[in-house]
Amino acid sequence: MSNVIVLGSQWGDEGKGKIVDLISDRFDVVARYQGGHNAGHTIIIGPKKFVLKLIPSGILHPGKQVVIGNGLVIDPVALFSEIESLESAGINVAAQLRISDRAHVLFPAHQLMEKRIHIGTTSRGIGPCYEDKAGRRGIRIADLLDLESFPALYAELMEEKITVAKAFGIEGPTSPETVRSQYQALAERLRPMVCDTAEFLNATIKQGRSVLFEGAQGTMLDLDHGTYPYVTSSSATAGGACTGTGVAPTRINGIIGIAKAYLTRVGGGPFPTEALNAQGEAIRERGNEFGSVTGRPRRCGWFDIPLLRYTAMINGFDSMVLTKLDVLDEVDQIPVCTGYRGFEGMPSTVRDLERAEPVYECLPGWRTSTEGISRYEDLPSKAQEYVTYLERKTGVEIGCVSTGPERNQTIIRPNSRFSDLTR
Ligand code: GDP
Ligand code: IMO
Ligand code: MG
């Protein structure tokens, strides 16, 4: 049995939720390793639509064990709102979910602190919560459950927030006492689900059972390897799966990158292949490219080979899943960026990336519907050529192609690394 990491290879929203849901039945446990409720993973099952933010996308399989790892930041109010909506759909979340005692707790004051950050974040308090983690003043789930110590830890953290709020002219955290008692009440509901998830995951692996690690965001939003400072505050890359769960790299058998057949980005920051024209708008409409968390229109553009080669290197992809191929069905000539004029590799500063001028090659479109196709040989030949072109240029196999949001709108290529890893 394989332990596999599935993560975003671009700027997020590549369709990770759909793919993790699709392959979850082949794994014993599904574990999220970073981020918070900035993520929005949409899963469509027949007439039902689920948008998961903190809970791993395996939860929709009855009885599947899922884990929120130590690498996440958890807003308990957001978590319980998600739990309640899943429970109202008949899912027994309490029986399936384990939460790390070492994950960090996100408070309303974190959201307030985000007023100082102007890069187009999701305004959920994610960055400030990770700042507290790195600043070694954060409060973890285990601290929240510690009835004796929590009030003093919380008071100390709020004192710091009030000082910062005053200094920056932000309206101070409102009623910290109300928040404290609300969080303490929620802590009691969390308690039965909390454990040392690193112990649980390592024991699972030791018993010969398999774990699927689910990333949030995407490699280009990774704090170290993304388009800094226009990034999120956690490690979305493959390395983050180990630090974010406490499972060693030696236990990982494969890494799968999810890539959209074109490119999108939400929020600020450089985007060399952005299509600021009618074609970009057409993709936004056809691909329904509006943020699942904030509803913001996603910026749309063309597949970027240098970006993908870079993220394949950082993550060591064994295979890629190409999603939303059907969204390109009506494009006559599909531009693909093959390089940045004047740059080798990925520029390290956003100034350089903004200056990077993409060089395009145009591939002929197929101008016919691929929606729902589930066998590779049924794809129009020009769509197959698009897939093999991207494979050749990125140097990574495309083991799976997605042709619609539903589980059955998927092609799994036999004899691929993807099919081996998800067998
Ligand atoms: P994630 O954050 O990576 O899980 O991706 P999101 O859920 O934020 O965004 C992907 C969107 O595309 C969702 O609304 C999915 O239902 C949808 N989707 C996923 N795969 C496909 C596909 O192959 N074709 C189409 N048309 N939609 C897809
Ligand atoms: P999923 O998991 C797309 C973006 C925000 C902003 C930047 C920093 O659904 O792919 P943050 O609130 O994290 O501090 O914002 O990162 N961002 C995402 N973009 N998909 C996501 O998650 C994102 N999570 C954060 O728009 O540009
Ligand atoms: Mg998303």
In terms of residue numbers, what domain contains 168? 103-193
Averaged over 366-371, what is the pLDDT?
98
Q: Ligand 2 centroid to 222 CA: how many Å?
A: 10
Length of the chain: 423
Query: What would the pLDDT profile of 89-125 be if each residue is shown by its tens digit?
Result: 999 999 999 999 999 999 999 999 999 999 999 999 9
Residue 364 is part of a domain; what is its CATH number?
Answer: 3.90.170.10
- Residue 213: inside a domain, yes or no? no
pLDDT reported for residue 1: 72
What is the average pLDDT value for the chain, to the nearest integer?
97
Q: Is residue 201 part of a domain?
A: no
Nearest atom in ligand 2 to the alpha carbon of residue 264 is 3
Is there a single domain that holds both residue 278 and residue 391? yes
Residues 270 and 156 in one domain: no
**Do 182 and 267 fall into the same domain?**
no
Mean pLDDT over 162-189 rounds to 93
Domain stops at, among 170, 193, 216: 193
Q: What share of the chain is helix, strand, coil (3-state, %, to 5)?
A: 40, 20, 40
246 domain residue, yes or no: no
**What pLDDT score was predicted for residue 7?**
98
User: Can you give the pLDDT at residue 413?
Assistant: 98
* Same domain for 153 and 291: no
pLDDT tens per residue, range 324-349: 999 999 999 999 999 999 998 999 99
Alpha helices in 332-373 (DSSP H): 350-355
Residue 239 within any structural domain of the chain = no
- Answer yes or no: 28 catalytic: no
Task: Identify whether residues 189 and 304 lie together within a single domain.
Answer: no
**CATH code: domain of residue 117:** 1.10.300.10
The predicted structure's pLDDT at residue 268? 96
Whole-number pLDDT of residue 416: 98
Ligand 1 cavity residues, CB under 6 Å: 8, 12-18, 40-42, 44, 292, 323-324, 326-327, 402-405
| Residue of 37, 41, 110, 225 marked catalytic | 41
- Of 149, 168, 193, the domain-final residue: 193
**Strand ranges, E, within 167-253:** 194-195, 211-214
Radius of gyration over every alpha carbon of the chain, rounded to an integer in angstroms: 21
What whole-number distance in Å separates Cα of residue 400 and Cα of residue 234? Answer: 27
Query: According to the model, what pLDDT value does residue 422 have?
Result: 97
Statement to judge: residues 128 and 269 lie in one domain: no
For residue 267, the model assigns a pLDDT of 94
Do 274 and 398 belong together in one domain?
yes
**How many domains would you assign to the chain?**
2
**Residue with CA nearest ligand 1 atom 8:** 13
Q: Indicate if 179 and 275 belong to the same structural domain.
A: no
Among 193, 220, 237, residue at a domain's last position: 193
Same domain, 398 and 284: yes
Sequential DSSP letters for 115-141: GG--S---SSSHHHHHHHHHTT---BH
293 has a pLDDT exceeding 90: no
In a domain, 91, yes or no: no
Residues 116 and 221 sit within 8 Å (Cβ to Cβ):
no
Residue 296 shares a structural domain with residue 415: yes
Mean pLDDT score, 44-56: 97
Residues 279 and 383 in one domain: yes
Q: Is residue 211 part of a domain?
A: no
Is 222 a catalytic site residue?
no
What does the alpha-carbon distance between residue 362 and residue 381 come to, in Å, rounded to a whole number?
A: 16
The verdict on residue 152 lying in a domain is yes
- Give the Å distance between the CA of 323 and the centre of ligand 1: 8
Same domain, 166 and 265: no
Look at the block and give the residue holding tokens 């450089």: 270
Confidence of residue 294 (pLDDT cuts 50, 70, 90): confident
**Looking at the domain assignment, is residue 160 inside a domain?**
yes
